[in-house]
């Protein structure tokens, strides 16, 4: 049942042109197709196989003659001429019954599609693989006021609209939207003078939530022209907001479809973090037009070819639009929380996987975020200019093609003359390398000794040394930088690098800017960490030093109930008072390592984490910090009140982030007085939501929470925040009950993935609550997965990752989790998606 990368064969038939006619009807949509096929030159003749699932075939013809193909659950097989021919079919599908949200479905009465990865086969019979690229012409017939598809509009009349996309594309980039929609519109002139109509389509009533998204789109278009030399290539660019959507957004050619949470915003309903995320996702989908659409993937094993590169590009964009250090630090926090966790557990897989059962299960942090880290390492290794040349070569050489990682790396080798054979291991070997560092100093020569080792991962017991770019700088004893950043290239298992002419033993700043996705292990002291927090010139490592200090402090507290290290308290206090530091940076440096990160760290050290003890240590440290820095916190809170009208820009957002972080500590002392005042005065969601969170954590949130619900019950996206926050702010002993109660709430539904994730995703995100010794968290998760799986396998399967860390815990917890995994697997109608995920989690 698994598919293997090694088994790839080229498609026997290619598609020149596709004509589709949709006769829309909620339960009985007819799809008429006319596909021009031609045998692939050089590929042995074979029968024609077309993917198709849950389709009711009305009739089929080849070159005008009716045929009776063989039909299975997977598709249709028929004899075909060994020369160009036309295949025609009419099928009937039922969008209203489509709860999986893959293929053509209804969301609030609006017809919409999601085809990546393999959803087009639920629309009509087709070679649904990305290396088959065709030119699509689409006619939509129906009574919807707005009917959209890919490419440019050709003609429209009463009850119909026609679209033509001149760019050949794989079926996964097909899209159709039809409904009662209104647009916020704008215009963009590309640098070569093409006039492009821009539209963000929403349900009536949401028009005022598009302005920020539109500005983000314009910025993305300009940035891709200026930085990558890439222009838009159609006369129209449409974005549609859809409430029911499995993922964040989708880059369909000329018709991007977005989860409404990733595009709609107003200052009253969206937080600063939401705004930043919306800007990044709009950029991400727009950037796919070149990295994904013009150049696509040969097969789904190459997913990182488009996703890693596009995540890297959107991160560069955000760094340019906002603060580069803050973006880098936030990305590393997320990478460690999600990707390192994945890489250390049973779901670990290479950035380019070599087999899968359900490709939807591989839209992972490893493919996306680690995939982006690999691009960053490549860029560091070949330099900015080499990178620009290589990427240009990639674009010119492969425009219009379906490519592989080999093609991508060959462009780098040819443009820069560098051999990337060893670098390629980053794509094929899973697991996070450990980088052990020791040092020596004599006669003014300082030497760093590195040793790399990657632990085994499922199916990959043996690992090989990788090329690791290690950005290093050295600081002198009084805090000056004596050696500025230089990139050491480690290729062996063990390697040493020396620095001459040093008057005194320096303090090293290793892996600056997080130059490789590895775990650095080095014996050091809290005094040295505090020194780096105070003096490092590299913002990432400055933050990292504070993070390490907090981690060591917490580990000591967790292990033997030690009191918080005064060195940590002093260092963080000094950092907070340094007004030369960006408030956003200070907010990040005030944050503590997450409970899950601490659990992973302890497990990595051979210990069994106790989720409750971890939670208590973080609580205790917060109380200590609130006491130790009382005056500073009050002053910071006052100094970072924004008086200007709300703008979601980095300066204002940084001030609010610091004020809100500080408010969390202040609430530890004042029991919520200031949070309540902030709640009452708030004119934006960033301040309102943070205040509500503080009050809920202080046990003073019940009335305010009710008021919040009454204020926002009409707004689905805000209600999602309300659902989640109650669980995130609950005492561990009550988190599972709170979540269970919320699943009974009249506004809870399994039909909306955002709502499901708001509740169950929040439960999975509070380790002490989810892993509560009662097992209630596990049971609730299993109950809800069993309920969701038959309706929406994709969203259910993704949530299964909540269980991926089970082997970290004690035998009692392991036993409880295993029981729940087996119960889900035994449920009637368990999906292929979920069976694959839980099987890997249980047996990996
Ligand atoms: N290509 C989309 C993006 O990253 C993600 C869509 C994935 N959808 C899915 N069903 N797996 O922008
Ligand atoms: Zn993407």
Q: How confident is the model at residue 164 (pLDDT cuts 50, 70, 90)?
A: very high
CA of 135 to the centre of ligand 1 (A): 22
Residue 735, Cα to own-chain centre: how many angstroms?
A: 25
- Assembly ipTM: 0.98
In whole angstroms, give the CA distance from residue 151 to residue 174.
Answer: 10
Apex CA 241: angle with CA 686 and CA 220, to 5°? 75
**Block residue for tokens 């020596």:** 440
Ligand nearest to the CA of 262: 1
**Block residue for tokens 């039809």:** 178
Ligand nearest to the CA of 247: 1
Q: Which atom of ligand 1 is nearest to the CA of 246?
A: 10
pLDDT at 166: 98
For 618-667, the pLDDT digits (tens) are: 999 999 999 999 999 999 999 999 999 999 999 999 999 999 999 999 99
- For 221-283, give the DSSP string: HHHHHHHH-----SSEEEEEEESS-SSSEE--TTEEEEEGGGT---TTT--HHHHHHHHHHHH
> Which positions ≥6 away from 72 have C-beta within 8 Å?
none
In this prediction, residues 45-64 reach a mean pLDDT of: 98
The residue among 391, 336, 342, 394 whose CA lies nearest residue 363 is 342
Helix (H) or strand (E) holding 776: helix 776-788
Question: Between helices 732-743 and 776-788, what is the axis angle to 10°?
Answer: 30
CA of 19 to the centre of ligand 2 (A): 27
CA of 234 to the centre of ligand 1 (A): 22
Q: Is the CB of 250 under 6 A from ligand 1?
A: yes
- Residue nearest to ligand 1 atom 5, measured at CA: 250
pLDDT at 547: 98
Total residue count of the chain as it appears in this document: 844
Q: Which atom of ligand 1 is nearest to the CA of 359?
A: 11
For 22-39, the pLDDT digits (tens) are: 999 999 999 999 999 999
Q: Is the CB of 297 under 6 A from ligand 1?
A: no
Apex CA 406: angle with CA 403 and CA 407, to 5°? 50
Q: Which atom of ligand 1 is nearest to the CA of 114?
A: 10
pLDDT at 39: 98
Q: Is the CB of 550 under 6 A from ligand 1?
A: no
pLDDT at 153: 98
494-499/182-189 β-pairing:
unpaired
Q: How confident is the model at residue 115 (pLDDT cuts 50, 70, 90)?
A: very high
pLDDT at 427: 99
pLDDT at 671: 95
CB-based contact 62:81 (threshold 8 Å): yes
pLDDT at 421: 98
Ligand nearest to the CA of 249: 1
- Grouping H, G, I as helix, E, B as strand and the rest as coil, residue 502 is coil
Q: Which atom of ligand 1 is nearest to the CA of 250?
A: 2
pLDDT at 11: 98
Q: Is the CB of 116 under 6 A from ligand 1?
A: yes
Q: How confident is the model at residue 776 (pLDDT cuts 50, 70, 90)?
A: very high
For 299-331, the pLDDT digits (tens) are: 999 999 999 999 999 999 999 999 999 999 999
CA of 363 to the centre of ligand 2 (A): 9
Q: How confident is the model at residue 670 (pLDDT cuts 50, 70, 90)?
A: very high
Q: Is the CB of 249 under 6 A from ligand 1?
A: yes
- Single out the catalytic residue among 116, 118, 285, 737: 285
Apex CA 518: angle with CA 228 and CA 566, to 5°? 115
CA of 37 to the centre of ligand 2 (A): 29
Q: How confident is the model at residue 702 (pLDDT cuts 50, 70, 90)?
A: very high
pLDDT at 157: 97
Residue 719's alpha-carbon distances to 223, 325, 708, 712, in angstroms, are 34, 32, 9, 6
CA of 95 to the centre of ligand 1 (A): 20
- For 13-52, give the DSSP string: EEEEEEEEEEE--SS-EEEEEEEEEEEPTTS----EEEE-
- Residue nearest to ligand 1 atom 8, measured at CA: 116
CA of 84 to the centre of ligand 1 (A): 33
Q: Which atom of ligand 1 is nearest to the CA of 292?
A: 1
* From 363, 364, 796, mutation site for ligand 1 pocket: most ligand atoms within 8 A of C-beta: 363
Q: Which atom of ligand 1 is nearest to the CA of 281?
A: 12
In this prediction, residues 663-691 reach a mean pLDDT of: 98
The residue among 138, 160, 140 whose CA lies nearest residue 151 is 138
In this prediction, residues 444-461 reach a mean pLDDT of: 98
CA of 75 to the centre of ligand 1 (A): 23
Q: Is the CB of 251 under 6 A from ligand 1?
A: yes
Residue 222's alpha-carbon distances to 211, 263, 473, 634, in angstroms, are 17, 19, 35, 42
In whole angstroms, give the CA distance from residue 611 to residue 607.
Answer: 12
Residue 102, Cα to own-chain centre: how many angstroms?
A: 19
Q: Is the CB of 117 under 6 A from ligand 1?
A: yes
> Which positions ≥6 away from 575 have C-beta within 8 Å?
533, 534, 546, 581, 586, 589
In this prediction, residues 349-363 reach a mean pLDDT of: 98
pLDDT at 649: 98
Task: Please count the other Cβ atoms lying within 10 Å of the Cβ belonging to residue 765.
Answer: 18
Tell me 150's DSSP state.
S
> Which positions ≥6 away from 291 have C-beta within 8 Å?
306, 309, 310, 313
In whole angstroms, give the CA distance from residue 141 to residue 137.
Answer: 13
- For 48-63, give the DSSP string: EEEE-SS-EEEEEEET
For 360-378, the pLDDT digits (tens) are: 999 999 999 999 999 999 9
* From 116, 117, 175, mutation site for ligand 1 pocket: most ligand atoms within 8 A of C-beta: 116
pLDDT at 150: 99
Q: Is the CB of 283 under 6 A from ligand 1?
A: no
User: How would you label 114-125 residue by residue, b for 16+ Cβ within 10 Å and e otherwise?
Assistant: bbbbbbbbbbbb
pLDDT > 70 in the chain, percent: 100
544 annotated active-site: no
Rounded to the nearest 10°, the torsion over CA 37, 124, 66, 141 is: -100
pLDDT at 195: 98
In whole angstroms, give the CA distance from residue 205 to residue 58.
Answer: 40
Q: Is the CB of 162 under 6 A from ligand 1?
A: no
In whole angstroms, give the CA distance from residue 766 to residue 759.
Answer: 11
Q: Is the CB of 286 under 6 A from ligand 1?
A: no
What is the pTM assigned to this prediction? 0.99
């Amino acid at each position: 049942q698994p598919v293997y990368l090694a088994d790839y064969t080229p498609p026997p038939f290619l598609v020149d042109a596709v004509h589709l006619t949709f006769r829309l009807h909620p339960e009985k949509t007819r799809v008429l197709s006319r596909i021009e096929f031609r045998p692939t030159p050089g590929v042995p003749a074979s029968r024609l196989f077309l993917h198709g699932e849950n389709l009711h075939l009305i009739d089929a013809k080849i070159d005008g003659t009716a045929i009776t193909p063989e039909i299975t659950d997977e598709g249709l097989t028929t004899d075909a001429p060994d020369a160009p021919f036309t295949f025609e079919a009419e099928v009937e599908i039922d969008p209203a019954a489509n709860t999986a949200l893959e293929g053509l479905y209804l969301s609030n009465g609006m017809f919409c599609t999601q085809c990546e990865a393999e959803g087009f086969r639920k629309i009509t019979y087709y070679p649904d693989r990305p290396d088959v690229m065709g030119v699509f012409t689409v006619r939509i017939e129906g009574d919807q006021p707005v009917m959209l598809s890919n490419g440019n509009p050709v003609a429209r009349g009463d009850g119909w609209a026609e679209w033509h996309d001149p760019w050949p594309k794989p079926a996964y980039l097909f899209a159709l939207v039809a409904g009662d929609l209104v647009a916020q519109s704008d215009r963009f002139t590309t640098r070569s003078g093409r006039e492009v109509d821009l539209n963000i389509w929403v349900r009536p009533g949401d028009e005022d939530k598009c302005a920020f998204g539109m500005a983000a789109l314009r910025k993305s278009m300009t940035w891709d022209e200026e930085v990558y030399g890439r222009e838009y290539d159609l006369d129209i660019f449409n974005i549609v907001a859809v409430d029911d959507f499995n993922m964040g957004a989708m880059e369909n050619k000329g018709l991007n479809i977005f989860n409404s949470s990733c595009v709609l915003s107003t200052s009253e309903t969206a937080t600063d973090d939401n705004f930043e995320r919306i800007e990044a996702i709009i950029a991400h989908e727009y950037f796919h037009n070149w990295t994904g659409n013009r150049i696509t993937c040969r097969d789904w094993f190459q997913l990182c070819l488009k996703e890693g590169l596009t995540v890297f590009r959107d991160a560069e964009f955000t760094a340019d639009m906002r603060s580069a250090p803050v973006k880098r630090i936030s990305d590393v926090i997320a990478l460690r929380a999600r990707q390192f966790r994945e890489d250390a557990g049973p779901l670990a897989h290479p950035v380019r996987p070599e087999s899968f059962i359900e490709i939807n299960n591989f839209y992972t942090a490893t493919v996306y975020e680690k995939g982006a880290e690999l691009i960053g390492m490549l860029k560091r290794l070949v330099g900015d200019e080499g990178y620009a040349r290589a990427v240009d070569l990639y674009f010119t050489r492969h425009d219009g093609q379906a490519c592989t990682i080999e093609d991508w790396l060959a462009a780098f080798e040819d443009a820069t003359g560098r051999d990337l054979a060893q670098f390629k291991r980053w794509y094929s070997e899973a697991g996070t390398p450990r980088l052990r560092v020791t040092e020596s100093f004599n006669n003014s020569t300082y030497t760093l000794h590195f040793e790399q080792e990657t632990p085994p991962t499922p199916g990959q017991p043996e690992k090989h040394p990788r090329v690791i770019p290690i950005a290093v700088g050295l600081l002198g004893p009084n805090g000056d930088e004596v050696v500025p950043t230089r990139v050491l290239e480690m290729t062996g298992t063990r390697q040493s690098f020396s620095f001459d002419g040093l008057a005194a033993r320096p303090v090293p700043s290793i892996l600056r800017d997080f130059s490789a996705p590895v775990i650095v292990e080095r014996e050091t002291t809290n005094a040295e960490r505090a020194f780096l927090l105070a003096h490092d010139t590299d913002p990432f490592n400055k933050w990292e030093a504070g993070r390490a200090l907090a981690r060591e402090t917490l580990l000591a507290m967790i292990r033997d109930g030690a009191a918080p290290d005064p060195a940590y308290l002093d260092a963080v206090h000094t950092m907070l008072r340094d007004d030369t530091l960006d408030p956003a940076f200070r907010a990040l440096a005030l944050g503590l390592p997450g409970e899950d990160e601490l659990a992973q760290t302890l497990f990595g050290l051979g210990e069994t984490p106790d989720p409750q003890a971890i939670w208590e240590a973080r609580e205790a440290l917060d109380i200590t910090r609130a006491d130790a820095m009382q005056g500073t916190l009050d002053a910071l809170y006052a100094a970072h009140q924004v008086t200007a009208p709300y703008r979601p820009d980095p300066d204002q957002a940084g001030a609010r982030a610091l004020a809100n972080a500080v408010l969390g500590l202040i609430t530890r002392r004042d029991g919520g007085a200031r949070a309540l005042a902030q709640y009452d005065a708030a004119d934006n969601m960033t301040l309102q939501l943070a205040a509500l969170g503080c009050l809920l954590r202080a046990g003073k949130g019940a009335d305010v929470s009710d008021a919040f619900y009454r204020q926002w019950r009409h707004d689905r996206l805000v209600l999602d925040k309300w659902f989640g926050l109650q669980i995130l702010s609950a005492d561990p002993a009550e988190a599972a009950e709170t979540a269970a109660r919320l699943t009974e709430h009249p506004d809870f539904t399994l039909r909306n993935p955002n709502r499901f994730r708001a509740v169950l995703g929040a439960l999975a995100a509070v380790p002490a609550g989810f892993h509560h010794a009662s097992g209630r968290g596990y049971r609730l998760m299993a109950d809800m997965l069993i309920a969701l799986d038959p309706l929406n396998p994709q969203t259910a399967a993704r949530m299964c990752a909540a269980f991926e860390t089970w082997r970290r815990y004690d035998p009692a917890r392991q036993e409880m989790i295993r029981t729940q995994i087996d119960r889900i697997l035994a449920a009637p109608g368990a999906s292929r998606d979920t069976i694959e995920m839980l099987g890997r989690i249980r047996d990996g």
